Structure 1
């Protein structure tokens, strides 16, 4: 921390930026008279609700520019000049991050005030250059929502796709690469563990109350250099502020199982069962007003939410696979009871009092949110804002599933606490100089709190399912402390037709990540009999054992956590040039600098081994180079080219071995030039062409960096076995696994994570072209966006390399499969005794392969009688080498499906590729009889289903990863050639016949026989969903206050209410999925243990039903 403060003290006065975001709006324009510029005209803007004043004068070109203004309104703007009439604009509303343009023509003074009333929207006059969207508080209020998430609001953006978890993906990019800011403070999950990409997500909580949000701005390709820190998309939200009048609200909503659809048609054609009991409520209050009129204001909020529902697969549930059949003549539940009695007695013999409960408690999600915001108009030149927000949440996780029943001690509370502090100072020093300073601090404390401390026991063959008890393997030692500090200062100079921006934004992170899997030991068994046998001393009955502990001789702490600091800096300068009244050009240059303040621990054994491999591949590459030269000299060009390819491939491997555990990522500057334009084709702004090109630099989830800090092979000792070892016993004391480690000492393994020495943060080049036009009273918007990957992640396992053969050469029955085979390089024979314990070496590097593009068309029309309509269609294609869907390096390698060289994965479809999306919305509001109002809203979303991959369960190519080999889709003749292993009652011939039937019946697979399944090349079927919002309002006046009561009813997926086959969601619903119906059973044999009518796909039980919510709100 001291190093950080010292470093910041030096950097504060430097012009640096990494991700300056926008929290305000502005007004720009030009004042003329009879076509000539008016120099020195006075512009006075007043935010009417708060009395906040902003002012400036026109320059030599007659132009003016006021920035740093409160978003929203209404504003009153007066333009005056001696000898000329004063023009007044009323009811102006400003959109977040955009400047409203006014074209003012003054006439000679007629002694009359010329007042102009403008309906408060900027429409086609907004100064955006890229694809962007703004959403105000009224639109937020009218959006159908039950989860109260930002994603429910932003889904109207054509380029955004939203998953069931609320993860937002922009134009086919990962949600981990997004930026989410509230009042300029970072609220996205920068560490990268939550499914929705936001703080609090692991506890099932939303980061902020929607009731407190004033405006949201969504950007996909902003060419303003102040907006950065993402290669996906950017969401900026600002919260409400107090005004000169007291305003507040009391609100609440509620739902239970009676507001959830009773049934839907399942994939097998049967109707689903009625949904289990559920209770959910959500209530809160806001209050805002003046502390000193026109000077000091406050806004405060408080909100609580609670959701509870039973575990559908709890003890003796009829839906569990433990129910239907018996084990040794007994049903699964009788076996569970028998196991539990045995556990209690066995633990007691070791002096351990251990009796886990079988009663799964109700699942719950709880959260408390609170906030306070102060706005201070110091004077007309300086405005100050200070805010604090709290999000405290807890969720019970780890419940049973259909196939696995878990005792209560497998469950754990996930506890998340986030505090956010922001301070902002907006200053206008003169007519030509303005400044914006902002500082924020985000404190996140997340941890898993297990119900009990015990070794994990997992037993298969219980009924048709599995039984597990003890502490879940990832939950015994799992906590994250995260502190994020940001400091921003933007200086703006106005010079003629130019607006120059120089800024500083610095981000500093401190992390403490405790993550030790299998901390209490994990024992796995094939069946109950094996469990009893091992517990009674027969070591041969053990299937698998895993245990990891800290190396206390190095760490000094048995619960060692990786602690490290990081930062992101950059330099930028920008010019916004009004070339003409109708053509604006924005161009800038930035250089981002990622920093890592801590060096990972040195592992001499690995470093020495890496150096030897570097030298080894260097010698091989040199030999290929010599052979290529000889072939060229001999005139054998074909052989020379072949040797050159061999040299290149070998040299690439050599360069990867130029790594050390104590090597940090590169801090070389990452340059990002950008240019954007906006061209109004007519003075009325009916036709506008806009676009730009530029480079965007983001960051990676810092959990990927933490992997390399933790896994040097020094701090943690891992022990595992896939078979019983003589001397091993079942140890019930979770903190006394040492006797088993002594037995397994010789097999203790080292997992190594390393950086490529030139590793860079994510970066892409993005090109955008848009056309806005108004025709027949309809606002049309076309956007085309193309992104080319410059730096993205790719994981390799250096412990494995090609062995020179293919699958076809290794297994004659698979002569049609030409993928390469691998062999482990760190065996004792190849690597020596010291390095032979290194089992996997995950190398984090970069790739420039990948691209995405999207084309969208949107139409919108607002009618004076209260009806708002919009419709949009978007086509997207996104391809990548590795989608980075996981938080652990091993998983990012293992689950990056490939049919070629897994250390050189081919370009494939992204896990976020949703080709088609249609959104149609209609909102109607009618006020009547003085006191009443009715609002009705309906949103239709139609989209391609989630992408998926089909792979073999097992390790076909020998690369050490079970489950990353994409399936070869065989023809019937090739199936006849394959070798099958009998199992689960299916003979070899039955499996052949069933597999043929299955492949012939699947739409995608049947069309690609004789080919490899391409990564995420298929999508679930097209989905159609309707969401409905109804609000009935009643208002009355008392003095100067308007009191309003509003009863609301929201229904998501309302189509299911009318037809049980409408609105069904795929089980993935927006998140990539993967299927492994075919098992690789080793030695070239396979198993297809399914009937011929097998269907990989299924519907989500919860989301396929209509879901309603009743709400009541009072405002004044």
Structure 2
């Protein structure tokens, strides 16, 4: 059997061509298994045969004995290898299989035939002659050392690797968020060495608990991504599971170090014929890893350290500034005038145009492996990460921030994991794992003067200065204690798994927006004269924001049982049940006014709420060249804790809010500079809100501050997943170069989301219906947001296919395609209920309206191409190219500022879907004086909107442009200093097409949250007409994503010993 055929059933990526879906990665699985059947030459099972499995690097041994059916199982084995398996039985010649490499979470299928003989000479079989690995059932992909080392991973992140799968899209315009088959990236799970290292609270869109990957790239042995693993040991996600296992030491000392570098001189400086201002910067990364024995054959260590001293650069500026992204309608003159007013009238320096800022990231991982005996082994892993970035808070195409509005965003992570693997008998084994994670998050404004957030409207753009409102009182610490106990019993052809898991969360979350104040102005003139359109101030009644912090905890408990039945030599059936339930003793503070209004308490929790998740799957090896698989199962998890934490802090008991309407500051009758306006402690306008607002909060008086609560009938969100797939080894009888063996992997995945988490206003009632069916609402109770379940099930489909081929002259490739038709009710883009409710588009915000998912990428093509050759004898040159072509994410056309729905504070928000008149005389509409009617209808025609004339444009009906990009890594091996050492020089080019031409590789996308504001409007004449009031023909539909569009290069060296 050829090397390629050996991996035909979805084995791991080999020689960079390994893109076929491969082995399972259990939610906390960190090991691999070998299982098989031993028969004689007549096909009869050989019982009582001894099977010894030896991990060659460490010398660790696992022993088992075949059952009456000739079946054996070696479980809990280290990932990697090589392994040697020796089979002995009375009356048969011994047989030894060498060179077995195990992938993460796999069950390697090893069926062997013994020859009847009294000879004692061992028959040796090499790894290329054994049967292929048997993967868990479901669409997946695994990536090993070849890919991790050679891929053009310019960020040194797992995100650079998993994107090779065409179903996995990494959004380079949005912190490299991983979107699996069109699902919300917050619903993913990341586990490393059995520890759940995804964002444990829900603030980060990149999926990590820290600013970047929290462990060294060189520490990773393998990584895998699973979209629908039909195994009950998986949990804690409903989108996809990404699992990594770290390297371990062996009996030989091995290690290496690297350094790489980039700068402004290694970055593009023009796009589409226009020069781009790139501030000078330097960005260094370096790291070292080493592993080896502490005690030969018994105790081993591995350690990896990595540091980055980099730079955050920003690409936004006024019109005419030469910035990569210029804000249309916001001129340099506007920029200068706002800055002058801030300095002269408010005595505040807002800073300038954001340019470049230093950042750091430091990582350390230490692992110990102890071979206690042939039946027991243990491991301990410590992981540390501390890093920060300077971050913008408001980066839409119609937003600009002065530099002091930016903030430092960082975290310190410490995690500890101890694991014990035990073989108690030949048939019974257990895994015990205990882990503890401690994370301290920090979000510190660059504004050190204590100035509030100011928002100024300039030609439909929002200009920000002062301290960001969400960073004025913001502190987060959390810890997670996880315990897992699993057992497996081998009963003839049945592998029975069972276990218990518990994750305990302790959370301290201080989040008080506007504790200094937020001031909104409708114009530069209003800003100069001190006439805000809105003021927001929140605090605890004690006026100490810390007293409003949420300090709470909860636990997720799990029990599971499963039977994996080898129903024949070519059929595997898996069936099991998983049950998750929540427990907590902490409740949100009860608000008596809420209870009086609603008739129930706002202190609801998830205590006692549970979910049973059945799963079933089948894999059929139809022939030596074709395997079919399928399964059905229920999955749950990934909903961020921050959505629950809001209920503990936004309650109008420990925290109150005032918006200034009661004191005449928002109707133009009073100025912030009026002589009778008093500020506390001798402060002036902007450095505090007026004393009247502070006094009202201290008295416990709220002004339309929304209470957050959990629906008393809340059910756990879950997703039914159904998958059908096949792996086919095709021996194509084609001419010359085209002929040969191809591996084809294809999977069809259906997903039905039930009880999806959504946010609604709890206090709104529809009081009227306006023109064209527009619902009009009013608040008749204590204002509130409720975290509840969608009333509609939502269906999504994904089809993925990969074709791979390798040649004997050093070339290998894998091509992939994914079609995704993903839907959702709400995109749930944020950590705050207010933002989750408002950062979307809708016709009726209180109804569950199904539309294309905000995260859907309908079509995506991928190509991974690798060529290696010794142009100089003994020194390999390797070229690795990864390319993708992806259709953009969806967006909606909406009104800009409007009062269509009749309720505050959202009546000015750009969320209401656009009504398209069927012509200037449409009786449903009117046009304000000076409105450019002709230009507006030309705009509608150009954007393809007239097809919706007489109605509303559906949500997410349009998609952003296709983006075609390719990255290239070139590596040249060089001599080492000593025998057995290797070194290499490399260069990584990000966005090669843009390096060739500044017209290529341009990434355009509708700005967050995927809305294009076509015109401002309002209801007139008793709600019988929509009046169009303002229209800007120059408003961007899609904005150019500057950083993702520009090419960049990193050069570096690596050394291995």
- Following the alignment from structure 2 to structure 1, what is the Cα–Cα distance between the partners of residues 51 and 103? 19
Equivalent residues in 2 for 1:614-763, closer than 5 Å: 659-665=600-606, 667-682=608-623, 684=624, 686-721=625-660, 722-723=666-667, 728-729=677-678, 732=683, 734=687, 738-742=691-695, 748-763=703-718
Alignment of 1:942 onto 2:936: no
1:946–1:1066 Cα contact (<8 Å) kept: no
- 1:419-818 aligned at under 5 Å gives the runs 419-451=414-446, 452-456=448-452, 458=454, 460=456, 468-527=464-523, 529-534=525-530, 541-552=531-542, 558-611=546-599, 659-665=600-606, 667-682=608-623, 684=624, 686-721=625-660, 722-723=666-667, 728-729=677-678, 732=683, 734=687, 738-742=691-695, 748-776=703-731, 777-803=741-767, 805-808=768-771, 817-818=772-773
What is the aligned partner in structure 2 of residue 372 from structure 1?
A: 366
Rounded Cα–Cα distance in structure 2 between residues aligned with 1:325 and 1:865: 57
Q: How does 1:76-87 map to 2 (within 5 A)?
A: 76-87=84-95
1:1008 aligns with 2:960: no
1: CA distance, partners of 2:235 / 2:331: 59
CA distance in 1 between partners of 2:704 and 2:393 (Å): 31
1:121 and 1:707 mapped to 2: Cα distance? 55
Determine the C-alpha separation between the residues in 2 that align with 1:466 and 1:227: 45
Task: Note if 1:194 corresponds to 2:188.
Answer: no
Q: Does 1:246 align with 2:253?
A: yes
Contact map agreement 1:514 1:561 (CA 8 A) in 2? yes
1:252-309 CA distance string (max 9 Å, x none): 11111222223232xxxx5353544332221111111110111111111111112225
Structure 1 residues 911-958: Cα deviation after superposition (integer angstroms, max 9, x where no partner): 111111111111122346553011111112111111112211233122
Q: Match of 2:214, SS?
A: coil
Among residues 917, 920, 927, which one is paired with 2:863 in the alignment?
A: 920
In structure 2, C-alpha distance between the alignment counterparts of 1:1066 and 1:299, rounded to whole Å: 43
Partner of 1:951: 894
Structure 1 residue 462: Cα displacement:
7.4
CA RMSD of aligned residues (A): 2.8
Cα contact 2:453–2:468 (8 A) shared by 1: no
Q: Note closer, same or farther for the CA distance 1:93–1:736 as it changes in structure 2 (3 Å cut).
A: same
Q: Per the alignment, do residues 893 and 468 of structure 1 end up closer, same or farther by CA in structure 2, a change over 3 Å counting?
A: closer
Q: In the alignment, which residue of structure 2 is the partner of 1:1045?
A: 983
The corresponding residue for 2:927 is 980
Q: Deviations over 1:1083-1102 (max 9, x none)?
A: 35544644556541122112
1:1021 aligns with 2:964: no
Give the Cα separation in 2 of the matches to 1:759 and 1:148: 40
* Pick aligned residue for 1:303 from 291, 296, 306: 306
Tell whether the 8 Å contact from 1:94 to 1:122 is kept in structure 2 after alignment: no
1: distance between equivalents of 2:107 and 2:822?
32
Which residue of structure 2 aligns with residue 864 of structure 1?
A: 808
- Partner residue of 1:284? 287
Q: Per-residue CA shift, 1:1055-1098, capped at 9, x if unaligned?
A: 122233322112459x8622212112453554464455654112
**Residues 53 and 457 of structure 1, relative CA distance in 2, 3 Å threshold:** closer
Partner of 1:235: 242
C-alpha distance in structure 2 between counterparts of 1:317 and 1:415, whole Å: 33
Q: 2:226 aligns with which of 219, 242, 247?
A: 219
Counterpart CA distance in 2 for 1:35 and 1:932 is 48
Taking the aligned partners of 1:736 and 1:976, their CA distance within structure 2 comes to 45
Residues in 2 aligned to 1:1073 and 1:496: alpha-carbon distance in whole angstroms: 55
What are the ranges of 5 or more consecutive residues in structure 2 without an aligned counterpart? 1-24, 661-665, 671-675, 732-740
Contact 1:288/1:297 (<8 A) preserved: yes
| In structure 2, distance between residues paired with 1:875 and 1:405 | 36
Q: 1:385 and 1:326 mapped to 2: Cα distance?
A: 60
Q: Count residues with an aligned counterpart.
A: 992
SS at match of 1:664: coil
The whole-number CA distance in structure 2 between the counterparts of 1:1028 and 1:1049 is 8
Bigger shift: residues 716-725 or 968-977: 968-977
- Contact 2:439–2:478 at 8 Å: present in 1 too? yes
Q: Measure how far apart 1:891 and its partner are.
A: 1.5
User: Which stretch shows the higher mean deviation, 752-761 or 1092-1101?
Assistant: 1092-1101
Mapped contact 1:847–1:881 kept (Cα < 8 A)? no
CA distance 1:743–1:560, change in 2 (3 Å): closer
Equivalent of 2:379 in 385, 396, 402: 385
After TM superposition, the structure 1 stretch with the greater mean CA deviation from structure 2, 453-462 or 235-244, is 453-462
**1:618 — aligned with what?**
none
- The alignment status of 1:1076 with 2:1029, answered yes or no, reads no
User: Normalised by the size of structure 2, how large is the TM-score?
Assistant: 0.89
Deviation at 1:63, TM superposition (A): 0.4
Work out whether residues 587 and 605 of structure 2, in 8 Å CA contact, stay in contact via their aligned partners in 1: yes
Partner of 1:5: none
- When residues 453 and 516 of structure 1 are mapped into structure 2, their CA distance, relative to the original with a 3 A threshold, is farther
Aligned to 1:58: 66
Q: What SS does the corresponding residue of 1:1103 show, helix, strand or coil? A: helix
Question: Does the C-alpha gap of structure 1 residues 39 and 449 become closer, same or farther in structure 2, counting only changes over 3 Å?
Answer: same
Indicate yes or no: 2:11 matched with 1:21.
no
* Alpha-carbon distance in structure 2 between the residues aligned to 1:399 and 1:793: 25
Structure 2 residue 997 is the aligned partner of structure 1 residue 1059? yes
Matched-pair contact (CA < 8 Å) for 2:717–2:789: no
> Taking structure 1 as reference, are residues 405 and 609 closer, same or farther at Cα in structure 2, changes over 3 Å only?
closer
Q: Which segment is superposed worse, 919-928 or 503-512?
A: 919-928
Which structure dedicates a bigger proportion of its chain to helix?
A: 1
Residue from 953, 967, 975 that aligns with 2:914: 967
Which shows bigger deviation, 127-136 or 333-342? 333-342
Cα 1:23/1:461, change in 2 over 3 Å: closer
